[in-house]
């Protein structure tokens, strides 16, 4: 069964959601040309102004981190950071890789940093559609990702 055939694969929080796969920095060699045949291990929602370039020498985006709980995608809160390898690794200066194939070709994003964002600000900046999938009592996790060319 392919990832596309798994019903929970189709769950979307936002039309801008990008489903993908987290790879540890030491497993970069395991990233294939084609999408893995299992369900995505992560998802992101890029900021509303996706094309905005942040200061710095490389193309960076801000995105909310989505994790799967009970077959649904939820915005990761700061209270869950240590539950997931990619977010816990970011606190150890590990640059995990988020890889997606949704554009029809492989795109690699390097996790540079994570930070907290107040829920109200996250809803305002990333879209009202996340309101039902975000904790209102804890900061959400915002990722700083650098897109590899």
CB 43 within 8 A of CB 15: no
CB 109 within 8 A of CB 61: yes
Q: Model pTM?
A: 0.85
Q: What is the tens place of the pLDDT at every residue in 12-37? A: 888 889 999 999 999 988 898 888 98
Distance CA 126, CA 48 (A): 5
C-alpha separations of 67 from 8, 83, 117 in Å: 12, 10, 16
Share of residues in the chain with pLDDT > 90 (%): 54
| pLDDT level of residue 102 (50, 70, 90 thresholds) | confident
């Amino acid at each position: 069964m392919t990832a596309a055939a798994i019903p929970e694969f189709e769950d979307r929080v936002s039309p801008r959601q990008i489903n993908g796969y987290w790879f540890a920095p030491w497993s970069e060699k395991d990233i294939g040309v084609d999408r893995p045949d299992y369900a995505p291990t992560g998802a992101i929602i890029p900021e509303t102004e996706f094309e905005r370039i942040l200061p710095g020498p490389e193309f960076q985006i801000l995105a909310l981190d989505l994790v799967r709980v009970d077959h649904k995608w939820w915005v990761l809160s700061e209270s869950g950071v240590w539950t997931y390898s990619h977010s816990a690794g970011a606190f150890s200066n590990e640059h995990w890789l988020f890889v997606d194939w949704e554009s029809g070709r492989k795109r690699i994003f390097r996790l540079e940093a994570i930070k907290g964002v107040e829920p109200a600000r996250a809803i305002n900046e990333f879209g009202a559609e996340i309101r039902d999938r975000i904790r209102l009592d804890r900061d959400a996790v915002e990722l700083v990702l650098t897109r590899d060319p």
